[in-house]
Structure 1
Amino acid sequence: MQRVAEQIDSPGDKLLKLTTSFLQPRLLTACGFPFRQEQLHSNIEAECQDDFMKIRVGFNGSFSGLVYSAGYSYDPDCMYINGSGRDYYEFYIQLNRCGTLGRNGQHDDTRKHPTKNLMWNTITVQYNSLIEEELDEHFKVTCEYGYDFWKTVTFPFLDVEVATGNPVVFTLQPPECYMEIRSGYGATGARVAGPVRVGDPLTLLIYMRSAYDGFDIVVNDCFAHNGAAKRIQLIDEYGCPVDDKLISRFRGSWSESGVFETQVYAYMKTFRFTGSPALYIECDVRMCHGRCPSQPCHWRNMKSVSRRSVDTPASVAPRLSENISLFQSLRVLQEGEEDDEITKTAALLVALLVAARGWQRSERRTPLHAYVPHKGRIK
């Protein structure tokens, strides 16, 4: 089997081409006599966008099998193709669904340095719609982004009048926000760049940055899910933890170093859904020009812990942005499970070590075949 991978850069997106061709024909049997038939082969292209991967799959003949995300064949949203006999198909994979996972290429503070992010999904091409066979193919489609997923919020309007002799109106540049997960409890831990284990302490951070002062942020309706139907709520509509054994309430801080930046963060312990190593954390975020309407568990007021408390209305109504959804994905291992990449690397190192020792033994044996100029036993 020959596989060729080619990545093409184009403005605004990255196009990843994966071509798979089989050099050996398939041996079948009819009426007890073997005959050879050329096997189907597939050509896969992936177009990478900020929220999804667009996948194009072509075959050299009619395809009546299945294409789905590995491990998610039971979820209708992750079963992309139930072959109808065509030779070309297109479908979309959401970055927060169906086992799509990500990894950051470095542990540095990504707010100050450019970073590289990888998002990948493993796709299974099953040629028989009823059974899995050794001829089925598995593709790990990877998208590489040279940036973090900062999202710009949208306000109904953000015009500010300037008190001068003539009326002047200018538009403020809206703020951006971003979510990430760090190891340990605290905003200064290393950014998670690989698998974590059940029970590991983590910190969920949401950043907001703007070139202008006067913006506020609230976080509510945080959910955890496995990329399919399993889903639990972590933070409710008031910004309060639903189960404080899983996540704390949000805290916050702000700075004015070059840009106006606010960060809110909550502590959580790693968990996972039964049988699902993929864990997704999603939160709704709203930003305000002016002070956001207070809520029982607002990060600015750590003393307000009652969900039933009623806040006095603000004297000036703030301008609210539209809700945006931020997410992060994690690969969660149970105790005793090993990371596939680490296992492969360890196996390779063991193989190299065995080969090196074999070479050293052969080098040692070579002088024993040479002439020995004295009598006696060689020890």
Structure 2
Amino acid sequence: MNFVLAVFAIIFLQTAYGEIDNAIVGDPSVECGDDFFEVKFDTRTTFHGIAFVQNHLDNPDCRSFARKDDSAKNTSLRLTFDQCAIEKRHSTSPRGLFLSTNVVVAFNPEFLTKNDRVFKVQCFYMEMERRIQKEIQISMPPPTMHSKQLNMPVCKYEVLDGSPTGPPVYFATVGQMVYHKWTCDTEHENTFCMLVHSCFVDDGNGQRVQLLNEKGCALDKYLLTNLEYPTDLMAGREAHVYKYADRDNMYFDCQISITVKEPGLDYCDVPSCPDPPRRRRSNNLPGPVENSTTFATEFDYEDSEIVSDYIISNDDIISLNWLQRNFDMRISELCMTAIGTTILVFLNAFLFIISLVSIMHVCCFQTSPKLENTQSTML
């Protein structure tokens, strides 16, 4: 609060008997302090009187004392706000507080004379309303990092007998139905998603055939079709057992990608794959085996339930001594469908009947002349 000092002095003339050759020079000075005000007077000659609050002469706190110093030509009176019945008055216009009292300056400490004066001393403390604004930039405390590492799922690959609930298969025969199953176990439900992709099968000697691409889509429907995902952390598909020629063991190599499930999703996204085609073998083979390879390429098993005993890769065919080791065995085998076999059986039966009828006809023709000659001789 800022204080503005306003001093008002009103001089009242009092008459008294006697004459004193002294008087007040100029106007008194008033100092308005925080809890007091002080009034000072200058006189023409040495002041031997007193100054006091009107009607409070008997109160030592409300008067000054006579001086013995002949050189002093002034006097003062200091009053606190809680003494001498100082008048306090609130003002609304202007807003503030008036403090006032009457001070008597007597040149004779015993009597009042005509030279004495009465001053009304008043201090005004103005009240001021001011809106003070201060901009303070307040920032939030930095976030505290609370991290918790989730344990990754533990995944496994199984080959089961016939179904997802079948027993594990460690030894199998060509054509046997098995179920390829990939599962991941975790302590946190509805948290992770899995994708099986980049699957290869090899014979252990460097011969590799890709079954699933990097998106998890099957590449050869006769080896392995597109996988099904019954749950977020399970994938599988049934397939017939196959093998490399002259190899007893097969090795499967697959990658499993684990991702965090998107919040709010009920199910994980599964790969959208087209129906896989049948893998075609390369025709870039030497001349002697060109026809055999063309036959194997064009022959389609889609309408037949027969499963080939072997799946022969192009690299195996052109490998060293493969033809010498396998040609004699394969040359006597003829692969035919059930319809072709039936037609062949009927054709053989038809030829057999025709041959039998022809033989009987020839035999009957040779017997008839002999009978005619015999009858002629008898006659």
> Under a length normalisation based on structure 2, what TM-score does the superposition of the two structures give?
0.32
> Under a length normalisation based on structure 1, what TM-score does the superposition of the two structures give?
0.32
Q: Decide which structure has greater strand share.
A: 1
Structure of greater Rg? 2
